Chain A
């Protein structure tokens, strides 16, 4: 009986408050389903059943005593392997950190704990977030619940697969260039990358600091609104975090239709290079949004053509620097070789980092190196300004922008891993919002003829995460794509 594991986070909280079931039973249902399905899916890298059941029991006890329950009380949550939790392993999908245990807890995990969430376990990911298929995990790929030979996308592929397969209702992800939105799209669920700075990055193992956003994956927009209110807010431990308004969940139901909402369709992101079925599904969904009252307009983001190059130069430059701390001195994998300290550092890094990570470190080192710095990193930061200005112009007349999340639906495992460039080009639709720090959400909008899910992406002006979620919620009240599940 898996009914409890099928519940949304909002339904769990409502049910607990009404006394319909116990938090312990919800967690047990999720743990049972993990035991049943995860050996095939490989969504999880580590589970903590005892701790999770103890958390759930504490919620039940508080509930019995009539104490007020937190916003996510009793909701089992998985987290991507790049968030640190005191005493637990946080490996970021890397051999380098395979045995690393953090002495402190990420701000977002603290917020979840404080809201009563039950922390289930950590999910698989491309090493340090560098990949779009979860194949770059040092611990083997995750499989897509919609097809065992398909990638779940990445880098938050483990979290996406776990939520899609109903192993848990909610999972943390991180999104640097689409790592929440793309796997959400490929797994037929809803994923939110909030405005940059809205959710603290403290305790998120860095890939690219100016792009990394803490995000979440769920089966409904409503659950993401619930999560966002818990997770967001100014954090003194993150100098790039920003103050913001809460109450997103409370205002979610304010809107019954989309009248008065103007949605722009940037032609650069809605035409060239898209899979036909992806393009058609997005067109149909846009039509549906119009039926719900939205006004659709064509628009243009001229500099988006350079977004992939801009993104990869900035992201890898920052990554080369962020990953310099893995030197075998204080923690992490260490290879002592005869001779000097320098040789130890080189041997440790060459052993601990996988192929894709090494490639990106080299690319980023190149982008910053003497003689190339201005032409590559410098040029990319200026192109980023032009792209930001494109968005500012467009949002002067549009409330939201719409395009597919990924140019193609879930692709077979092994089909792109040896061709980094083709993998990078898959990010073309998600990196623009990342570069501009804008909130963006992916949700199911249709299916390919062979049944693979297709996602559409909405982008909003900075700090309009609330509008993004309201519109997604209205759409989900009037469509059923998000309700279709891959596995019995």
Chain B
């Protein structure tokens, strides 16, 4: 009856890397069983026959209104940088990025 858990240690570690979250072993030990329990409870959804149904990424059909192409003044630089943890020469500064 019980299928293997959808998510294991290795996969969780991989997801954490994708999501840019650091998961030390102790945190992983807490989060893994919680996620497994949640996903186990969601297993029944996978058996729901849905082949006839179109996906609904939105709650209800809405038309998308388009904006007319007119440029507005930009946000003043001091406001652009007001919340920046680090900035210099009008730019945000981050630790050196290695290309590629």
Answer whether A and B touch in the complex at a CB cut-off of 8 Å.
yes
Q: Do A334 and B85 touch (CB < 8 A)?
A: yes
Nearest chain A CB to B96's CB is how many angstroms away?
Answer: 7
Q: Does A21 contact B (CB under 8 A)?
A: no
Q: Do B44 and A306 touch (CB < 8 A)?
A: yes
Residues of A within 8 Å of B96, CB to CB, are 340-341
Q: Do B59 and A196 touch (CB < 8 A)?
A: yes
Q: Does A210 contact B (CB under 8 A)?
A: yes
With A and B bound together, what is the CA distance between A101 and B11 in angstroms? 37
Q: Does B65 contact A (CB under 8 A)?
A: yes
Q: Do B55 and A381 touch (CB < 8 A)?
A: yes
Residues of A within 8 Å of B53, CB to CB, are 382-383, 385-386, 389
Given contacts A239-B65, A353-B21, A362-B35, contact A379 B45 (CB under 8 A): yes
Interface residue SS majority, chain A: helix
| Contact residues of A between 299 and 317, Cβ < 8 Å to B | 303, 305-306, 308-310, 312-313
Q: Do A329 and B94 touch (CB < 8 A)?
A: yes
Q: Do A380 and B18 touch (CB < 8 A)?
A: no
With A and B bound together, what is the CA distance between A349 and B21 in angstroms? 6
The tally of residues in A whose CB lies under 8 Å from a CB in B reads: 75
Interface residue SS majority, chain B: loop
Residues of A within 8 Å of B10, CB to CB, are none
With A and B bound together, what is the CA distance between A308 and B44 in angstroms? 11
The tally of residues in B whose CB lies under 8 Å from a CB in A reads: 49
Given contacts A334-B85, A359-B35, contact A197 B62 (CB under 8 A): yes
With A and B bound together, what is the CA distance between A97 and B48 in angstroms? 40
Q: Does B88 contact A (CB under 8 A)?
A: no
Q: Do A420 and B38 touch (CB < 8 A)?
A: yes
Q: Does A363 contact B (CB under 8 A)?
A: yes
Q: Do B38 and A362 touch (CB < 8 A)?
A: no
Q: Do B55 and A436 touch (CB < 8 A)?
A: no
Given contacts A100-B83, A330-B84, A462-B60, contact A361 B6 (CB under 8 A): no
Which of A27-35, A44-52, A146-154, A365-373 lies at the interface with chain B? A365-373
Given contacts A375-B46, A382-B54, A385-B54, contact A350 B21 (CB under 8 A): yes
| Contact residues of B between 74 and 97, Cβ < 8 Å to A | 75, 79, 82-86, 92, 94-97
One of B19, B35, B79, B95 near A343 (C-beta < 8 A): B95
Residues of A within 8 Å of B83, CB to CB, are 99-101, 330-332
Q: Mark B30-72, 1 if CB is under 8 A from A, else 0.
A: 0100110111011011101010011111111010110100000
Identify 15 new A-B residue pairs, CB closer than 8 A, beyond the known A310-B45, A331-B84, A366-B15: A100-B83, A306-B44, A313-B42, A328-B85, A350-B21, A359-B34, A361-B21, A362-B31, A379-B50, A381-B56, A383-B53, A386-B53, A388-B59, A420-B38, A424-B38
**5 smallest A-B Cβ distances: which pairs?**
A437-B59, A331-B83, A334-B85, A382-B50, A381-B55
